[in-house]
Structure 1
């Protein structure tokens, strides 16, 4: 049997070793150790400020807590299963260092509000870091876009050639997705930045604590107004997982496109050696492992989101042990999103090389300029729907003759409709097709340059 725990003298027997292992969270919540120390330092200072303990006792507690921080950073503090969780691990070591005064640290708080505080301190830091990673990723997309304003690329709907567009315009679409991700995380941060410390186990405390003081010490902008809500709320974690899932949705979409572009069928990009691997039996291959892994890892974060929603569904107030299960999902999602952002930033910066000649060929070898023929007729006074139907016949005739629209003779054009003139060839040239789409948000080169300006402003 395992040693008897220190929670209460109500228990006569010790916890079964298997149950002790099952119950323990120290294996993963050690991630929160420095945040637990930071929260405990603020709590110790507050206890002295309010006269609950003496200033000398508070100083002793703070000194002991900072010693534990140094021991941990030096690899000397490695609590095991006997500590159950990070909070007991710190309290136990503190008591070893400073004696019985260490037992006063827990006055006026519970592990319930303590873990909520630690988790929020952790997530605030990680959100700040991920937002910076998003900016780094955006910067790479922006630089690529600046280099490819007039590089054409086929635009697709239903994965069928639709209309030629500017490659910069395509890349800026992902820039805008990342901008929303950055803004969304900023919104989530506001809900993370609420302090539960002082809520106690569920009902507050009889001690004259100063919650405002500890919140200020820890840099929180607000306090939870309801103690029950404070210890049981995990909305902030779910919101983060939602935001993280959307980041992975966006990264996975670009990852899929890179995988397609790098295939022999598309051949729009070439993978560099720094971000590709080879086959164990097919020496000619370069495999797009980075985007494939990003595409695959998205499922992990989606799963954690679903798991967290299921965890919280129908959970009665206030704290329940179920909430211990929030941390592994949260920690893994943070690490996964961060790793995927780093990998995709490297991939887009140095892992692929666009092939402008192949892209130019691609936009010239299909009927993606058919809409422009209809637009051309509309500018000549032909009703658009009539023009649309006529162009459908033109495409059908051209396919039967094995010709592209650019290959039709003037006589063939005029036999289809007398409104066609020599300027039809210029109107359906890929570069002109792109340049002409100058509506706000469009792919026209002038519009794209304006969009680049706007994107630069967002990066400031």
Structure 2
């Protein structure tokens, strides 16, 4: 016997059920506490509009809180034959409370029920990602300030170009994360809208108080149009995917930089032996495997928006079962993002900087622009100064002054760390 919200008294073929349900029961466990949260708000509203008595509300609320405690304790499970988390919660209430448990679905469809669960989950997950991004940002800013006096080569076309610094390098990734954080905030706002009451996508003949459930669940806004609310299935996930991909692009690029800089041909940074791996035949190897795996994982995460887009593109208005597959795509990606951000912060905490890179004479040419500008500031026309230094380089007579005097905003000598921090704080305020 199966327990399905749509049960009409016959049994579907087992092969059909296994194919359409897939891993949904396991994935739905992640939604359990959100399903209870949505149900608590919904029954409070049903009591207000007269579809439940005060006694029924009290009894159902106590039953839902008991289920919530079981979820928190890890004792909740979706039984074999029960299709999803929504069915399981209703089944438990009916089994324990009798006919009152059957009343919690009035005014709802499984469509808006799963939408509520997903939006509550995305709201929490995106907020958590934002906090993890902020932690990584703080780490990068601390490293930027700590190493702001350590010069390093800057490159264009992978050719030695101009002086840079570790302060600039760490600080650049910190500020870049702010742009990514804006996308996380945008996705959070998109998720933070209440779809409950849209039912199957066309509303209900019950006098539902949708503003009430919006307040009870702490949504910042209501999805007013019921069709638009249903259309947000896939759109919320797509926005979250874009935010995850943006963060992953920045972290993946940082990982690539570290892999390059750890090469003996560069030798800009090192890691403790215990954070590297060796070779089965080369005893000298210290490989940056963590950053290589991080780079690969971030590249996979950047494919996320495309995968969701291909699943949802050109679906006509209304619910379609294809949308169930979004959980298969998004849930593992959320876990990957959390794990990667935590590992990036951990590894950067142990990164060691080479403070004497520019002692090597092969980096002398980094200072040509500095010397051109020094002559220009002394009154030599820029093009003439450029020719003088260029001729010295061509003749093998160039000797750098090795002086770097960058004072403008955002340069080696003026990192604007506090201004950048305030930018991040303004973005973080959106999550309040």
TM-score norm. by structure 1 comes to: 0.87
Distance 1:452 1:6 in 2: 55
Distance 1:456 1:308 in 2: 33
Per the alignment, residue 66 of structure 1 pairs with 65
Per the alignment, residue 14 of structure 1 pairs with 11
Q: Residue 176 of structure 2: SS of its match in structure 1?
A: helix
Per the alignment, residue 261 of structure 1 pairs with 261
Per the alignment, residue 110 of structure 1 pairs with 109
Distance 2:243 2:107 in 1: 34
Q: 1:48-63 residue pairs with structure 2 within 5 A?
A: 48-63=47-62
* 8 A contact 1:197–1:211 mirrored in 2: yes
* 8 A contact 1:5–1:14 mirrored in 2: no
Distance 1:104 1:49 in 2: 14
Per the alignment, residue 437 of structure 1 pairs with 406
* 8 A contact 2:29–2:85 mirrored in 1: yes
* 8 A contact 1:65–1:94 mirrored in 2: yes
Per the alignment, residue 361 of structure 1 pairs with 359
Distance 1:285 1:58 in 2: 66
* 8 A contact 1:46–1:214 mirrored in 2: yes
Distance 2:178 2:289 in 1: 26
* 8 A contact 1:185–1:240 mirrored in 2: yes
* 8 A contact 1:117–1:197 mirrored in 2: yes
1:375 to 365, 373, 377: 373
1:113 offset after TM fit, Å? 0.7
Report whether the alignment pairs 1:224 with 2:193: no
Distance 1:5 1:456 in 2: 51
Report whether the alignment pairs 1:95 with 2:60: no
Report whether the alignment pairs 1:452 with 2:421: no
Residues 379-401 of structure 1: CA distance to partner in whole angstroms, max 9, x if unpaired?
A: 34443234334433322221xxx
Q: Residue 82 of structure 1: SS of its match in structure 2?
A: coil
Per the alignment, residue 428 of structure 2 pairs with none
1:335 offset after TM fit, Å? 1.1
Q: 1:341-360 residue pairs with structure 2 within 5 A?
A: 341-350=341-350, 352-357=351-356, 359-360=357-358
Q: Which has the larger radius of gyration?
A: 1
Q: Residue 83 of structure 1: SS of its match in structure 2?
A: coil
1:456 offset after TM fit, Å? 4.5
Per the alignment, residue 386 of structure 2 pairs with 388
Number of aligned residues: 422
Residues 63-112 of structure 1: CA distance to partner in whole angstroms, max 9, x if unpaired?
A: 11121222223333221452222111211122112112111110001111
* 8 A contact 1:152–1:363 mirrored in 2: no
Name structure 1 gaps, 5 residues minimum: 407-427
Per the alignment, residue 165 of structure 2 pairs with 166
1:145 offset after TM fit, Å? 1.4
Per the alignment, residue 276 of structure 2 pairs with 276
* 8 A contact 1:249–1:298 mirrored in 2: yes
Distance 1:270 1:393 in 2: 37
TM-score norm. by structure 2 comes to: 0.92
* 8 A contact 2:4–2:83 mirrored in 1: no
Q: 1:418-429 residue pairs with structure 2 within 5 A?
A: 428-429=400-401
Name structure 2 gaps, 5 residues minimum: 426-432
Distance 1:340 1:140 in 2: 15
Distance 1:289 1:121 in 2: 36
Distance 1:349 1:154 in 2: 22
Q: Residue 202 of structure 2: SS of its match in structure 1?
A: coil
Q: Residue 198 of structure 2: SS of its match in structure 1?
A: coil
Distance 2:163 2:172 in 1: 15
* 8 A contact 1:42–1:217 mirrored in 2: yes
Distance 2:208 2:409 in 1: 57
Q: CA 1:346–1:127 in 2, change beyond 3 Å: closer, same or farther? A: same
Distance 1:393 1:19 in 2: 78
* 8 A contact 1:52–1:208 mirrored in 2: no
